[in-house]
Amino acid sequence: MASDFSKFRPNPNQLRWKPYPLPEPSDSRDFVQSLYTMCGAGDATMRNGIAIHNYACSAEMSKKCLYNSDGDFLIGGDGI
């Protein structure tokens, strides 16, 4: 996962991405396991910037949760 966006040179041109591959039916991934970063800008240590993530989950979260105070959401599975 890339979180230091200063290591990448910005490209002012319109870009297109290949679709991220969906998980195989045998590869069950919950929400947290399936998160991936598409792009971002700024610096996490300066607490200034943005990151855009996508996900493709195929399994329920069980006894696991994700809390994001910056995005003001809590995602949890059963048993929490």
- Is residue 70 exposed (0-12), middle (13-18) or buried (19+ Cβ within 10 Å)? exposed
In whole angstroms, what separates CA 69 from the centre of its chain? 15
Distance (Å, rounded) from C-alpha 3 to C-alpha 40? 8
Per-residue pLDDT 10s for the chain (80 aa) are 456 767 777 777 877 777 778 878 888 888 888 888 888 888 777 778 888 888 888 888 888 887 777 666 767 766 55
* pLDDT of amino acid 72: 67
β-pairing, 73-76 with 65-68?
A: antiparallel
In whole angstroms, what separates CA 36 from the centre of its chain? 4
Report whether 3 contacts 47 (CB < 8 A). no
